Amino acid sequence: MFQRLTTNMFNWIMIFGVILFIIEIVFFDGGILFSALFFSVVTYAGWKKLSRLWGKCFFWGGLISLIIAILNMIAVRFLFVIGIILFLVHYVKTKKEADRIGPMFRIREVEAAAETMIQLKPLFDHKLFDDQKTENTAYQWRDVNIHGGFGDRVIDLSNTVLPEDTAVISIRHIIGNIEIYVPYEVEVSIHHSSIFGRAYLFGNHHENLMNQSLLYQTENYHSTYPRVKIITSLLSGDIEVKRI
C-alpha cells in the first residue's frame, strides 16, 4: 500500500499533521501535549526502575496513559483517517487492476551487473527507550548515526580500531546523557548543541547550557589520523567527552 505513496503526497500529509498539531497547541492550550510529555517522563522513570514494584506500576500506568493521550490528539486522529482512506483506495485499485507477472530476464541482468554490496550490522540501533553502550570487549568499528528518545548513550573507542580516514559519531537525542571515551592518540572534532544541559569536553566545562551550540577540535585535527568527528544534539541532557 505504501509503495504507491509518493514522497510529495507523504510530505503533504506530514505538513497537514504538523499544522493540526500546532492548532491543537495554540487553540486548545496544549493540554493533551503536556499530558503526553508528563506520562512520557513517568514511563521513562518506571523503565529505569523496572525491577521494582513501583517501577512496574509507573511504567505500565504511564505507558497506557501515554497511548490514550496520543490517541486523543487531533493530528494523530487525522493520520489515522488518512491511513484508512489510503487503505480503502489501495483495496479498490487492487480489485480493478490485477497484478501482472512477467518474465524477469532484464531485471536479473541488471542485478547481475550491479556492484557487490556487503550489509553490515550498525553499531547502535534507533531506540526510543533504553540505554545503549559499546561492547566491553574488542569490536569492529562502524560509524554511528542514530536518533533516540530517552536513555543514556555510552561509546568507548578504546576497544576498537578506528579507520585510517575520519570516523563519524552522530547522535540526535531527546532526553539522556552521552558519554564518549576517546584514546589519547586520536584527534577529535566536537559539535554539540543542547536546549538544556551541561557539557564536559576534555576539561572544558559548560554549565547550564540554554539553547547553545559548542564547537571544539584538537590542535592537529586537520592534519593527523586517526581522527573522529562527533556531532551530537540533545533536548535535555549532559555530554561528556574525555580521554581514556
Is the model's pLDDT at 4 over the cut of 60? no
Q: Does residue 89 share a domain with residue 191? A: no
Q: Give the domain extent around 42.
A: 2-96
Domain end, chosen from 37, 70, 96, is at: 96
CA distances in angstroms from 94 to 82, 97, 141, 147, listed in the order given: 18, 5, 46, 36
Assess if residue 51 is contained within a domain.
yes
Assess if residue 84 is contained within a domain.
yes
Q: Is 35 helix (H, G, I), strand (E, B) or coil?
A: helix
Which amino acid is present at 101?
I
Which amino acid is present at 155?
I
Assess if residue 46 is contained within a domain.
yes
What integer pLDDT is reported at residue 142 of this predicted model? 86
Q: Does residue 142 share a domain with residue 235? A: yes
Torsion of CA 114, 115, 119, 122, to 10 degrees: -120
Assess if residue 111 is contained within a domain.
no
What integer pLDDT is reported at residue 28 of this predicted model? 66
Q: Does residue 19 share a domain with residue 83? A: yes
Which of 39, 41, 30, 40 is closest to 74 using CA atoms?
Answer: 30
pLDDT tens for 87-132 read 777 667 766 655 555 555 554 555 555 566 666 677 777 776 667 7
Residue 163 — very low, low, confident or very high, per pLDDT cuts 50/70/90? confident
Q: Does residue 91 share a domain with residue 7? A: yes
Domain end, chosen from 68, 96, 124, is at: 96
Residue 181 — very low, low, confident or very high, per pLDDT cuts 50/70/90? very high
Assess if residue 193 is contained within a domain.
yes
Cell 557539557, residue located: 199
Give the strand pairing for 187-201 and 132-133: unpaired
Q: Does residue 140 share a domain with residue 76? A: no
In contact, 235 and 174? CB cutoff 8 Å: yes
Assess if residue 33 is contained within a domain.
yes
Assess if residue 120 is contained within a domain.
no
| Chain mean pLDDT for the chain | 79
Q: Note the Cα 217 to chain centre separation in Å.
A: 25
Q: Does residue 165 share a domain with residue 89? A: no
Lowest-confidence pick of 146-150, 167-171, 234-238:
146-150
In contact, 233 and 173? CB cutoff 8 Å: yes
**Number of domains, the chain:** 2
Is the model's pLDDT at 190 over the cut of 80? yes
Q: What average pLDDT does the segment 210-216 reach?
A: 89
CA angle 181, 125, 152 (to 5 degrees): 45
Q: How many alpha carbons fall within 13 Å on the CB side of residue 67? A: 5
Q: Does residue 206 share a domain with residue 146? A: yes
CA distances in angstroms from 235 to 37, 67, 94, 211, 226, listed in the order given: 13, 22, 44, 9, 30
Assess if residue 223 is contained within a domain.
yes
Q: What percent of the chain has pLDDT over 70?
A: 78
Q: Does residue 55 share a domain with residue 147? A: no
Domain end, chosen from 41, 73, 96, is at: 96
In contact, 161 and 201? CB cutoff 8 Å: no
Q: What average pLDDT does the segment 168-172 reach?
A: 92
Q: Does residue 222 share a domain with residue 170? A: yes
pLDDT tens for 16-62 read 777 777 777 777 666 677 777 888 888 888 888 888 888 888 889 88
Q: Does residue 144 share a domain with residue 68? A: no
What integer pLDDT is reported at residue 230 of this predicted model? 94
Q: Does residue 80 share a domain with residue 140? A: no
Q: Does residue 228 share a domain with residue 155? A: yes
Give the DSSP letter string of 160-224.
S---SSEEEEEEEEEES-EEEEE-TT-EEEEEEEEEEEEEEETTEEEEEEEEEEEEEE-TTTTT-
